[in-house]
Amino acid sequence: MGYKAKFRVWRGESGEGRLEDFTVEVNEGEVVLDIIHRLQATQAPDLAVRWNCKAGKCGSCSMEINGKPRLGCMTRMSTFTEDETITVTPLRTFPVIKDLVCDVSFNYEKAREIPSFTPPADVKPGEYRMQQVDVQRSQEFRKCIECFLCQNVCHVIRDHEENKPAFAGPRFFIRIAELDMHPYDVRDRRPQAAQEEHGLGYCNITKCCTEVCPEHIKITDNAIIPMKERAVDRKYDPLVWLGSKIFKR
């Protein structure tokens, strides 16, 4: 059965804006993105929202729904009561371009700072042979849809703009972990570098990133914590330190 829902949606651009109230029809089985589209079709034709697949796979429709970072296309209206006011705002950590659309280029800049997959020079494409166990280890990280919800929720940059230059963020910690686990990647990706060059040291394991990941990637437990442990081992274990010096020569 359909009903009328109360929506409050952020409208504005160039740093200026306000929440605008709407009453809008909701039908059975709909998701928040459906309602945003209905607002565009009926009451706010210039309402800006980014979306693409409507299937939780492109990572475009990231927004904050009642203050929680979520995908609009995967948030069912049935998770709210009919008399609840649903507040939809853009991701807070990135600059707003217009309404619900943010400039997420911070993330692409961070992506460029991570050296790409570097196979051995003498192995040609098509000749890579990997054990299934090695494929499985990093498969979880390759599920990332780059929705940047984890980047948005992490307090290291959400509350501290000044940390942005030094902090790659959880999405890129899993990228580093994935490459580090790849048996054909020959680049030196010591966790110490992640700690010092990509800002892993700023992370204090609040796990907010893991909580919001729509792909249920265990960002903190399977990527961040193991890298932190190895970085610490290396720094404080004199044998590991000595070994690294000897083998580097």
Q: Which residues lie near ligand FES (CB under 6 A)?
A: 51-54, 56-61, 71, 73
Q: How far is the CB of 100 from ligand F3S (least distance, A)?
A: 22
The residue from 123, 135, 186, 205 that contacts ligand F3S (CB under 6 A) is 205
List contacts with ligand SF4 (CB under 6 A): 144-150, 170-171, 174, 212-215, 217, 219
Q: How far is the CB of 58 from ligand FES (least distance, A)?
A: 3
For residues 152 and 67, what is the distance between their CA atoms, to the nearest angstrom? Answer: 12
Dihedral angle computed from the Cα positions of residues 58, 214, 32 and 27, in that order, rounded to the nearest 10 degrees:
100
Cβ distance to ligand FES smaller for residue 57 or 234: 57
How would you class 62 by CB atoms within 10 Å of its CB: exposed for 0-12, middle for 13-18, buried for 19 or more? buried
Q: How far is the CB of 32 from ligand SF4 (least distance, A)?
A: 17
Q: How far is the CB of 93 from ligand F3S (least distance, A)?
A: 11
Three-state DSSP class for 88? strand
For residues 184 and 169, what is the distance between their CA atoms, to the nearest angstrom? Answer: 25
Judged by CB under 6 A, the stretch of 25-33, 49-57, 93-101, 204-212 that binds ligand F3S is 204-212
Tokens of 237: 């274990």
* Binding mask of the shown chain, residues 144 to 173, with x at each position contacting ligand F3S by CB under 6 A: ----------x-x-------------x---
The one of ligand F3S, ligand FES, ligand SF4, none whose footprint includes residue 69, by CB under 5 to 8 A per kind, is none
The residue from 83, 112, 204, 238 that contacts ligand F3S (CB under 6 A) is 204
For residues 4 and 42, what is the distance between their CA atoms, to the nearest angstrom? Answer: 14
The one of ligand FES, ligand F3S, ligand SF4, none whose footprint includes residue 203, by CB under 5 to 8 A per kind, is ligand F3S
For residues 194 and 78, what is the distance between their CA atoms, to the nearest angstrom? Answer: 41
**What one-character DSSP code corresponds to residue 122?**
T
CA–chain centroid gap for 221, Å, is 16
For the stretch 168-179, what's the b/e string if a residue is b when 16 or more beta carbons lie within 10 angstroms of its beta carbon?
A: bbbbbbbbbbbb
Q: Which residues bind ligand F3S (CB under 6 A)?
A: 154, 156, 170, 203-209, 220, 224
